[in-house]
Amino acid sequence: MKRLNKLTTTKLLAWVQLAKTQAERGQVADRIPLLAKANSAWFAVHICCESGKTISFGDTASIFPLMSVIKTFSLLYLLEHLGAEKVFGWVGVEPSDAPFNSLEQLISDRGHPRNPMINSGAITLSEKLPGKDANHRTLLLCQWLNQLAGCQLSLDEEMLASVRLTRSTANEAIANYLAQVGYIKNIETALDTYEQICSLSGRVEDLALLGKLLACENSYLSSQNRRIVNAVMSTCGLYEVSAEFAVRIGLPMKSGIGGGLVAIVPGEGAIACYSPALDRVGNPVAGLVFIEALAQELQLSIFG
């Protein structure tokens, strides 16, 4: 019997309580006004097993923007549409030891984004998404993901307006430098697309369904592309603490400042959490505590 299938609500409840007590260590992101309105005590989890079994708990009706979690799926989309050779001509796969919006690191790397999970890599790839403009690109990506995963993502116009109102100066500086060295052609298109795809929103169930695409063999995605994305998540998905959590948890994961966190259990399913209180790096505190407790108890680490 697969390990995720052994889960009981009683066990889940204990881990949820543990996670919620730890959430106090984090802080809700406040750079984007609408994100700042989230309650730091909110917590939701949804687990999708390959067998079709699902378990969910907590504030599961909450809708939140995927923010950086979308980087995982825009990478998958580009690999499927354009191929690995092309995509990795634009971005690397090297882990980063600097914050996700570091201009200094990009300059020291002469403008070549280290990986697709940090902002420089994601902004570069946003400009390469198929479509005639930012709106069209976002719509095509959203439709593709909803069709493949059976989820119900949609663009949160109110969140997008809030993001635009306080556009990140760090992201502007990154985009300017990327244009200067020739990695992107149109600064505004790249930034607008990036902000729109980060504002794609859904519930924790939608995030788990997206994760299941990467966890389980299916007829519509290349196995190699799934492996690539899982590998990049393992080494880069939690920014500069990715290596620490590869040791502690041992699952491909991706976080976002909206509070979303998805963990892939290859061959078994996906675990998605929503917890808006973040640590100093920008990862959801309660989500990581929950997934660590669950992964250790069920011995889920991909490293045996």
Residues 80-102 have a mean pLDDT of 97
**pTM more than 0.85:** yes
pLDDT computed for residue 296 by the predictor = 95
Q: Provide the pLDDT confidence category of residue 266 given band limits of 50, 70 and 90.
A: very high
Residue 293 has pLDDT above 80, yes or no: yes
Q: What is the pLDDT of residue 8?
A: 83
pLDDT in tens, 187-208: 999 999 999 999 999 999 999 9
The confidence band for 130, taking pLDDT boundaries of 50, 70 and 90, is very high
Average pLDDT over residues 18-31: 94
Long-range contacts of the stretch 22-28 (C-beta < 8 A, 24+): 22/285, 22/286, 22/289, 23/275, 23/277, 23/285, 23/286, 24/277, 25/277, 25/279, 25/285, 26/275, 26/277, 26/278, 26/279, 26/284, 26/285, 26/286, 27/277, 27/278, 28/259, 28/276, 28/277, 28/278
What pLDDT, on the 0 to 100 scale, is given for residue 91? Answer: 98
Q: What is the mean predicted confidence (pLDDT) over 209-218?
A: 97
Band the pLDDT of 117: cuts 50, 70, 90. Answer: very high
> What is the mean predicted confidence (pLDDT) over 262-272?
98
Q: What's the mean per-residue pLDDT of the chain?
A: 96
- The whole-number average pLDDT for the span 246-251 is 98
Residue 1 has pLDDT above 80, yes or no: no
pLDDT of 9 strictly over 90? no
pLDDT (average), residues 87-112:
96
pLDDT at residue 11, rounded to an integer: 85
Scored b (16 or more CB within 10 A) or e, 23-52 reads beebebbeebebbeebebebbbbbbbbbee
pLDDT, tens digit (0-9, with 9 covering 90-100), for 148-178: 999 999 999 999 999 999 999 999 999 999 9
> What value does the mean pLDDT take over residues 77-84?
98
Per-residue confidence (pLDDT) for residue 21, from 0 to 100: 93
Whether the per-residue pLDDT at 286 is higher than 80: the answer is: yes
Quick check: 232 and 117 in contact, CB under 8 A?
A: yes
